[in-house]
């Protein structure tokens, strides 16, 4: 009773502190904690709560010191342990949670709660071996609780995931034996435990054993998830080549869900495998002879499959029509034609079935996507017949030349399917320019009229006629590609701006607008469009490339910083949150999800978008946050990289998670070449990523070299250079290696990526900036300037010796090469093409590349300044002693000053070029780009055009001002470097 009374007193005293923390009143919480500690100075929980309040107020050193004090005392009270766990979570010190509970478990080895918390701490860290050890301790503590035993088994499976070689020889056989022991002793209690046993067998590819389990009493217990046992049985039989069982299982599944396309494909796969292998039925009647077969027999011949498909279609004659059986008939026909089997004549023609499919399902928007799968089965004449049949059904063709409008949504959808199919078949590619523009205008009118059918829709709904507008813009882009006249592209942009007013939630309009604006070098409107699509969470990975590939290229540095920070934050948060999902999976016994979560986390950790965004953000920080050399060295301290120990990114492990088909496009499949485009883009993105990674590490290593020459150290840096006490390489040695790697990489890239990669106008990835960087002086200048850093470092180590004319000439060569960054003869963003003034985005892109290079050269010049300043101070001290016989100044000082002066002059000229792009200062009349005369009645279109030009003007102005601001900082930086 006395003990319980003591606990009650503690809880009563701590309650005000908890209340203050819950209310966010951290200052009051500290005061309350101090009151408690005056009465009870050894109350650990009060100290921890005070530390939590200090941490939340940003007083990290005080909070961490208090935590370390309590941690050292090895507390074991539940309240204290929970509070310390919260502190460590908020400061991301997850390893401290594990060591905290390890100490508590040593004192109370039979405490189930402490051991459970310790296990979850190891799960958070991914320490699979420690997980196994802790789970076995829990099992010994509570032998009747199955979950603890299977936590240990799952931990062994995860060790196999981490080490595949040992996994096959040691971990997986051990996990199998442990599980089998429980099966033999009939201790299996939950479905999750059976699934874990199947996972272990599948990882060892023991398919026969899997089949035995699924066919046995254990398999009968798998009933919580719909069709789980059947789908697992089918997968195992597929691995074993038991096509008859696969076929039977999927027949049974199709009897319940005849509209599941995946089931139909597997059914046909299994059936044709039996046909190809001349499968002979051991029992039952021969279906080819027309004898009656059981519903549980396999359809091992083409005739039996045809009979089954026909039955499914006939069953729907007087009921709801489902698409699955009709598509299965077309797929069945395709496979018959590939094998040149006679049954194809009985089944009928692809044209006949596609016409029937359109008649049944043409009123559904998915009809075009379904039919596209089978267009390759049609000859050119059959394609024309199909289009003509669609037009007859739609009944919108006019004999008087007056445009006919759909009367209802079904007719509108059928007409859209017809137009989309014609485009996919390549019919629009045959049009003349006049026909293309005329059809585009008709589609615009159809879109406007179709809006009347959607008056009752919510503002968040898509309009029924939206795809008319998309088709109209695609035709305008066809005209742009044919003629090169920007008037068609700007007209498409105006159409889309009008469309967004009516369909504010149509992300397809916004996707295409972002793409078209960026094509013309206008990034200003893109952030609002990008935010309007509400791209969040995982979409930062799959769709982040849409805007992030353009933001720096077009000179919007501030927006780039925000965008990259948001993306990187998502990936960092995911790394923390994934562990919570893993812990939940262990708690609820969802062992099958554990591997999925781990693989998902690995996929995000190795994401191309993640590595690109993180690298670009750090390079951007070096450009934006450095107006003197001290700030560059401060930026180095806060970057979470380890230049001395980091290895180059292994591109073989990079995961390209981009969704490149998100934008709707109805072009012919041979033009899109989705897989080929993705592979080419991936290679280019990987080459660009490695190039940027090496640029970043060269700059960071150079800053470390400069800090050493200035007398600084790297042992206590935030970025972790003090992690290894004995380093194999010094910063200057690693710097030389990285420059050598950069030159080799540039040589390889020049063979493939020197010319800009062509990209599809509507769909697919945009090119990187690699071709422009490779074709300019940028990388050669960077490498040459690093050589100067190495030369200054050598002088710093050996002292000022005799003048080395060959090395001193290199200063002049850099100065001359830097002159190539001047953008002479730039007349602004407009150029004349075929007698018309058009916006030229290449000027802005070249300017940004030059600004980046100037920024990097400025940082490297700052590193040289660090070394040379120390040498000059030393030289000046020596001269004081020899006043009458003072030696002449070493030429390196003058050479360096001349280089800085030249860089400063180039920066000024680039500043003038950037300022000249601003429409306000250059008197640039953006409105001179206006479209062809718009009829008086098209007031909305005229208003949209004015809006577009105002957005273009503001974007160019923003780019100009942000580039000027960066150059202003570099000018200030360079002025501080003169010796």
The predicted structure's pLDDT at residue 924: 55
Identify the residue with better confidence: 852 or 716: 852
Q: How confident is the model at residue 225 (pLDDT cuts 50, 70, 90)?
A: confident
Give yes or no for residue 689 having a pLDDT over 70.
yes
Question: Residue 291's pLDDT is what?
Answer: 44
pLDDT score at 804: 64
Query: Which of 62-66, 259-263, 508-512, 867-871 shows the lowest mean pLDDT across its residues?
Result: 867-871
Pick the closest to residue 845 from 768, 926, 760 (CA basis). Answer: 768
231 pLDDT band, cuts 50/70/90, is very high
Confidence of residue 4 (pLDDT cuts 50, 70, 90): very low
* Residues 172 and 160: beta-carbon distance below 8 Å: yes
pLDDT at 287: 44
Global pTM? 0.89
Alpha-carbon distance of 156 to 171, in angstroms, equals 6
For residues 275-285, average pLDDT = 71
What whole-number distance in Å separates Cα of residue 188 and Cα of residue 181?
10
Using an 8 Å Cβ cutoff, are 842 and 605 in contact?
A: no
Given a cut of 90, is residue 245 above it in pLDDT? yes
For the residues 396-423, what does the mean pLDDT come to? 89
- What number is the average pLDDT over the span 670-692? 90
d(CA 436, CA 441): 9
865-884 mean pLDDT: 75
Residue 802 banded pLDDT, cuts 50, 70, 90: low
Does the structure show a pLDDT above 50 at 329? yes
Is the predicted pLDDT of residue 264 greater than 60, yes or no?
Answer: yes
Cα dist from 943 to 442, 473, 939, 940, whole Å? 21, 18, 6, 5
How many residues make up the chain in this entry? Answer: 979
User: Quick one: pLDDT at residue 716?
Assistant: 38
Dihedral angle computed from the Cα positions of residues 852, 856, 858 and 864, in that order, rounded to the nearest 10 degrees? -170
Kindly state the average pLDDT of the residues 354-362.
95
Instruction: Please say if the pLDDT value at position 380 is more than 80.
Output: yes
Q: Taking 50 as the threshold, does the pLDDT of residue 14 lie above it? A: yes
Q: What is the pLDDT of residues 415-425, one digit of tens each?
A: 999 999 999 99
DSSP reduced 3-state for 963: helix
pLDDT band at 247 (very low <50, low <70, confident <90, very high): very high
Q: Which two tokens stand for residue 165?
A: 């070689």
pLDDT at 714 over 60: no
Q: What distance in Å separates the CA atoms of residue 808 and residue 780, rounded to the nearest whole number? A: 18
Please report which confidence band the pLDDT of residue 359 belongs to, taking 50, 70 and 90 as the band edges.
very high
Q: Does residue 729 surpass a pLDDT of 80?
A: no
- Residue 803 has what pLDDT? 59
Q: Considering only 609-623, 728-742, 822-836, 853-867, which range has the smallest mean pLDDT?
A: 822-836
Given a cut of 70, whether residue 51 has pLDDT beyond it is yes
Neighbours of 384 (CB within 10 A): 14
The architecture of the domain spanning 2-220 is Alpha Horseshoe (1.25)
In this model, does residue 722 exceed pLDDT 70? no
Domain map of the chain by residue range? 2-220, 776-879+888-979
pLDDT (tens digit, 9 = 90+) per residue, 815-841? 888 888 887 767 667 776 666 677 777
What percent of the chain has pLDDT above 70?
91
User: What is the mean pLDDT of the segment spanning 877-900?
Assistant: 73
Ranges 32-46, 190-204, 256-270: which has the least confidence? 32-46
Least confidently predicted of 353-357, 448-452, 808-812: 808-812
Instruction: State residue 224's pLDDT score.
Output: 79
Q: How confident is the model at residue 210 (pLDDT cuts 50, 70, 90)?
A: very high
Alpha-carbon distance 192 to 293, whole Å?
38
pLDDT at res. 927:
55
pLDDT band at 289 (very low <50, low <70, confident <90, very high): very low
The pLDDT tens digits for 597-645 are: 999 999 999 999 999 999 999 999 999 988 888 999 898 888 888 898 8
Closest CA to 520 of 489, 497, 482, 551: 489
Residue 200: is it exposed, middle or buried by C-beta count within 10 angstroms (0-12/13-18/19+)?
Answer: buried
Give the residue from 627, 791, 618, 633 showing the smallest Cα distance to 706. 633
Among candidate residues 32, 59, 63, 31, the one with its CA nearest the CA of residue 48: 63
Tens-place pLDDT, residues 511-567 = 999 999 999 889 999 999 999 999 888 999 999 999 998 999 999 999 999 999 999
């Amino acid at each position: 009773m006395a003990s319980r009374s003591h606990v009650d007193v503690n809880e009563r005293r701590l309650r005000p502190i908890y209340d203050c923390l819950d209310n966010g009143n951290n200052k009051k919480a500290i005061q309350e904690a101090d009151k408690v500690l005056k009465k009870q100075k050894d109350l650990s929980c009060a100290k921890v709560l005070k530390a939590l309040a200090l941490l939340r107020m940003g007083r990290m050193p005080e909070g961490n010191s208090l935590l370390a004090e309590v941690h050292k005392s090895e507390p074991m009270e539940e309240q204290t342990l929970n509070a310390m766990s919260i502190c460590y979570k908020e400061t991301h010190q997850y390893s401290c949670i594990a060591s905290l509970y390890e100490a508590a478990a040593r004192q109370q080895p039979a405490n189930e709660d402490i051991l459970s918390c310790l296990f979850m701490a190891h799960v958070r860290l991914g320490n699979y071996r420690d997980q196994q050890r802790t789970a076995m301790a829990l099992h010994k503590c509570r032998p009747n609780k199955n979950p603890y035993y299977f936590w240990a088994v799952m931990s062994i499976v995860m060790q196999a995931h981490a080490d595949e070689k040992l996994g096959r020889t040691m971990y997986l056989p051990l996990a199998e034996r442990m599980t089998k022991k429980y099966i033999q002793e009939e201790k299996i209690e939950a479905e999750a435990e059976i699934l874990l046993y199947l996972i272990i067998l599948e990882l060892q590819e023991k398919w026969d054993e899997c089949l035995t389990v699924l066919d046995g009493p254990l398999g009968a217990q798998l009933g919580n998830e719909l069709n789980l046992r059947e789908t697992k049985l089918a997968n195992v039989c597929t691995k074993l080549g038991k096509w008859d069982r696969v076929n039977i299982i999927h027949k049974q599944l199709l009897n319940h869900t005849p509209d599941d396309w995946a089931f139909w494909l597997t059914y046909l796969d299994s059936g044709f495998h039996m046909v190809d292998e001349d499968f002979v039925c051991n029992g039952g009647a021969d279906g080819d002879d027309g004898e009656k077969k059981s519903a549980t027999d396999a359809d091992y011949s083409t005739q039996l499959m045809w009979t089954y498909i026909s039955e499914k279609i006939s069953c729907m004659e007087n009921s709801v029509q489902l698409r699955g059986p009709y598509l299965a008939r077309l797929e069945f026909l395709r496979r018959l034609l590939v094998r040149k089997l006679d049954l194809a004549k009985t089944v009928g023609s692809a044209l006949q079935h596609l016409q029937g499919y359109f008649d049944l399902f043409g009123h559904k928007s998915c009809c075009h996507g379904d039919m596209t799968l089978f267009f390759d089965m049609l000859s050119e004449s059959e394609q024309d017949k199909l289009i003509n049949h669609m037009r007859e059904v739609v009944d919108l063709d006019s004999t008087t030349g007056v445009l006919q409008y759909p009367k209802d949504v079904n007719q509108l959808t059928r007409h859209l399917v017809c137009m989309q199919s014609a485009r996919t078949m390549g019919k629009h590619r045959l049009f003349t320019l006049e026909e293309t523009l005329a059809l585009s205008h008709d589609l615009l009118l159809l879109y406007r009229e179709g809006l009347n059918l959607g008056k009752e829709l919510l503002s968040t709904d898509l309009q029924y006629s939206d795809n008319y507008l998309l088709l109209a813009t695609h035709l305008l882009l066809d005209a742009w590609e044919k003629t090169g006249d920007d008037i068609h592209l700007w007209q498409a942009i105006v159409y889309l701006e009008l469309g967004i007013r009516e369909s504010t939630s149509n992300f397809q309009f916004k996707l295409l607008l972002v793409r078209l604006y960026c094509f013309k070098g206008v990034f200003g409107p893109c952030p609002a469009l990008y935010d309007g699509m509400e791209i969040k969470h995982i979409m930062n990975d799959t769709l982040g490339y849409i805007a992030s590939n353009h933001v720096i290229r077009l000179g919007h540095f501030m927006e780039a910083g925000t965008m990259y920070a948001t993306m990187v934050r998502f990936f960092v948060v995911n790394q923390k949150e994934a562990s919570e999902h893993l812990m939940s999976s262990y708690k609820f016994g969802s062992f099958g999800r554990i591997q999925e979560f781990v693989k998902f986390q690995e996929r995000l950790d190795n994401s191309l978008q993640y590595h690109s965004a993180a690298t670009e953000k750090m390079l951007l920080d070096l450009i934006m946050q450095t107006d003197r050399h001290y700030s560059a060295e401060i930026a180095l301290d806060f970057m979470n990289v380890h230049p001395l120990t980091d290895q180059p990114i292994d591109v073989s492990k990079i995961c390209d998670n981009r969704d490149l088909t998100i934008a709707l496009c109805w072009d012919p499949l041979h033009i899109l070449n989705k897989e080929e485009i993705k592979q080419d883009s991936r290679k280019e993105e990987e080459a660009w990523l490695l190039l940027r990674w090496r640029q970043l590490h060269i700059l960071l290593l150079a800053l470390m070299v400069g800090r050493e020459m200035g007398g600084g150290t790297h042992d206590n840096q935030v970025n972790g250079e003090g992690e290894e006490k004995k380093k194999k390489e010094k910063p200057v040695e690693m710097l030389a290696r990285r420059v050598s790697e950069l030159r080799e990489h540039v040589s390889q890239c020049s063979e493939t990526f020197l010319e800009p990669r062509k990209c599809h106008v509507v769909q697919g990835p945009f090119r990187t900036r690699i071709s422009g960087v490779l074709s300019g002086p940028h990388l050669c200048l960077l490498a040459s300037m690093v050589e100067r850093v190495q030369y200054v470092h050598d002088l710093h180590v050996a002292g000022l010796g005799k003048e080395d004319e060959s090395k001193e000439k290199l200063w002049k060569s850099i100065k001359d090469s830097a002159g190539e960054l001047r953008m002479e003869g730039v007349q602004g963003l407009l150029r004349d093409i075929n007698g018309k003034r058009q916006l030229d985005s290449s000027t802005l892109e070249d300017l940004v590349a030059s600004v980046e290079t100037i920024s990097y050269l400025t940082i490297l010049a700052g590193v040289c300044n660090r070394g040379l300043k120390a040498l000059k101070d030393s030289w000046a001290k020596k001269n004081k002693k020899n006043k009458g016989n003072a030696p002449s100044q070493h030429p390196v000082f003058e050479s360096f000053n001349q280089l800085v002066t030249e860089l400063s002059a180039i920066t000024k000229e680039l500043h003038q070029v950037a300022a000249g792009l601003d429409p306000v200062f250059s008197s640039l009349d953006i409105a001179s780009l206006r479209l062809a005369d718009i009829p008086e009645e098209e007031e909305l279109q005229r208003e949209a055009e004015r809006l577009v030009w105002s957005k273009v003007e503001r974007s160019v102005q923003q780019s100009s001002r942000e580039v000027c601001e960066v150059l202003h900082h570099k000018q200030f930086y360079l002025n501080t470097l003169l010796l």
